[in-house]
């Protein structure tokens, strides 16, 4: 959340280069480097400080307004009436007035948004997307037949689906939780949206999305189907992704063919980092860390959010998680956090290691 | 000339395309492509869709939010005609 406070050009200078620049005989270069380094140190220290601060401390510092300090979810749901203009969208529902609405997509967005907010607040004390009580804005009925849902940096947007392959993207709580988690991610590790870091970004959204759904329906690791978007995709045999068995969410689909997700690192797809190739296959290779999480959570047993969820949340909010992290980096951090939370030789640490081992990372 | 609109990306990355015949001069097309080119500094939308326009062998990324009024119907029809590329 503090990453945008300074010039992004400065951010991309690696530390070793900054050190060399600070020692430069050219005063302008040295000043620039010192200034940049100072800001980097300030940023990191600020982030650590604010991350450790209690809700009360944050409220005292004015980072949270009074209403948010009372753990009040703030949410608005808008109807785009199948247009693409956000400014012309009608307010359907807001948490202050709690209007009665008839729109199914609107009701779904409220249900999923509340489930996601409750999940983050009740389990991790996280106050909304930015941990400062951000007003959650959701837009339903966006565009005509749009078969998609996305997070644009400010809001969650859902299409109604094309009616033949997909129905409304509000139909599954995991999809809503997935989009809200993209917002959480942007305020935390903010992983690059490309290649392995992008696949991890997508995986964190699927992981928290599925746990939000499991918690809402009181499903333990055995009861859950571990399917993402099982209602959104039309047809009882189909879902958008399977975390339990990546690559099997849809087989021989008349329009989509076969699910392209790999479950293991030896099947990682090296795709070009272009728009048309999903920025290096961020929605494809996410199957690998998804599978690692599934195995870890399943082997721990019980409810996924009670143990595995705590570990993955600790990683998501760990300041040492680099924006360009690779699968191996997250593997190491999940082991470290499992050791910290449950003990070095705990069964949870073994389960985490088993998860990454099964995914061949 | 024939133009093809291609949509990629999304929560589930699928490619869709639609094409149509248009009565545009090369100059008009070039001018349109300049107007609707995406902002290269725009942050990547998580799970967002991306569009490109193909004319002959050339493909250019486009931002449909920037389409001028006189071309809105054309792109609206192209969008509604988008079909999954198998």
Structure confidence by residue, pLDDT tens digits, B63-79:
999 999 999 999 999 99
Residue A200: half-sphere exposure toward Cβ, Cα within 13 Å: 26
Cβ proximity of B82 and B16 under 8 Å: yes
With CB atoms and an 8 Å threshold, state whether B11 touches A178: yes
Confidence of residue B86 (pLDDT cuts 50, 70, 90): confident
What is d(CA A124, CA A177) in angstroms, rounded to the nearest whole number?
15
Query: Domain coordinates of chain A in residue numbers?
Result: 3-52, 69-171, 210-358
A257 to chain B, closest Cα gap in Å = 7
* Residue % of chain A over a pLDDT of 70: 81
Q: Reduce the DSSP state of residue A203 to 3 states and report it.
A: helix
- What is the band of A12 on the pLDDT scale with cuts at 50, 70, 90? very low
Question: Is the predicted pLDDT of residue A252 greater than 60, yes or no?
Answer: yes
Distance CA A100, CA A52 (A): 39
**Residue A149 DSSP SS3:** strand
Q: pTM score, two decimals? A: 0.85
Per-residue pLDDT band for A52 (boundaries 50, 70, 90) equals low
In Å, how far are A42, A243, A272 from A296, measured between CA atoms? 36, 12, 30
The hierarchical CATH code for the domain A69-171 is: 3.10.170.10
Mean pLDDT of B28-54: 95
Optimal mutation site among A148, A179, A233, interface B, most CBs of chain B within 10 A: A148
Q: CA nearest A163: which of A237, A255, A245?
A: A255
Distance separating alpha carbons of residues A283 and A277, to the nearest angstrom: 10
Q: Do A287 and A246 form a contact (C-beta atoms < 8 A)?
A: yes
State whether CATH 1.10.390.10 applies to domain A210-358.
Answer: yes
B85 touches chain A (CB under 8 A): no
Q: How far is B47 from chain A (nearest CA, A)?
A: 5
> What is the DSSP track for A39-71?
HHHHHHHHHHHHHHS-HHHHHHTTSS-HHHHTT
State percent of chain B over pLDDT 90: 95
pLDDT of residue A36: 52
Question: What token pair was written down for A334?
Answer: 């999940």
**What ipTM was estimated for this complex?**
0.94
Pick the closest to residue A142 from A125, A129, A155 (CA basis): A155
Query: Which pLDDT belongs to residue A23?
Result: 64
Asked if pLDDT for residue A212 goes beyond 70, the answer is yes
């Amino acid at each position: 959340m503090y990453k945008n406070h300074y010039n992004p050009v400065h951010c991309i200078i690696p530390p070793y280069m900054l050190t060399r620049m600070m020692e430069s005989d050219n005063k302008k270069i040295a000043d620039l480097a010192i200034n940049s380094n100072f800001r980097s140190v300030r940023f990191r220290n600020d982030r650590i400080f604010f991350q450790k601060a209690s809700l009360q401390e944050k409220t005292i510092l004015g980072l949270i307004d009074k209403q948010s300090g009372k753990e009040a979810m703030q949410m608005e749901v808008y109807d785009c009436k199948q247009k693409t203009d956000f400014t012309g969208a009608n307010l359907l529902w807001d948490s202050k007035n709690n209007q009665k609405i008839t729109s199914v997509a609107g009701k779904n967005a409220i249900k999923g948004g509340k489930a996601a907010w409750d999940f983050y607040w009740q389990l991790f004390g996280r106050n909304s997307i930015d941990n400062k009580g951000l007003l959650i804005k959701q837009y339903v009925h966006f565009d005509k037949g749009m078969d998609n849902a996305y997070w644009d940096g400010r809001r969650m947007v859902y299409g109604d689906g094309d009616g033949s392959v997909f129905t409304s993207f509000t139909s599954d709580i995991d999809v809503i939780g997935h989009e809200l988690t993209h917002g959480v991610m942007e305020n935390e590790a903010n992983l690059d949206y490309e290649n392995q870091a992008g696949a991890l970004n997508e995986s964190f959204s699927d992981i928290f999305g599925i746990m939000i759904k499991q918690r809402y329906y009181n499903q333990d690791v055995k009861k859950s189907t571990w399917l993402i978007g099982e209602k959104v995709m039309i047809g009882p045999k189909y879902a958008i992704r399977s975390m339990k068995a990546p690559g099997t969410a849809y087989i021989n689909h008349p329009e989509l063919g076969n699910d392209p997700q790999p479950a293991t690192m030896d099947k990682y797809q090296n795709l070009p980092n272009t728009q048309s190739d999903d920025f290096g296959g961020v929605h494809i290779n996410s199957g690998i860390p998804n599978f690692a999480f599934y195995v870890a959570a399943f082997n721990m047993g019980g409810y996924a959010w009670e143990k595995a969820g705590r570990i993955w949340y600790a990683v998501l909010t760990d300041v040492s998680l680099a924006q360009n992290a690779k699968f191996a980096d997250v593997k190491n951090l999940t082991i470290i956090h499992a050791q910290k939370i449950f003990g070095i030789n705990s069964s949870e640490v073994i389960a985490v290691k088993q998860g990454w081992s099964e995914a061949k990372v | 000339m024939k133009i093809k609109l291609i949509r990629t990306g999304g929560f589930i990355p699928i490619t869709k395309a639609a094409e149509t015949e248009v009565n545009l001069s090369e100059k008009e097309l070039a001018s349109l492509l300049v107007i609707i080119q995406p902002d290269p500094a725009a942050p990547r939308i998580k799970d967002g869709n991306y569009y490109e326009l193909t004319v002959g062998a050339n493909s250019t990324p486009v931002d449909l939010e920037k389409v001028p009024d006189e071309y809105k119907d054309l792109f609206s029809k192209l969008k509604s005609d988008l079909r999954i590329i198998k």
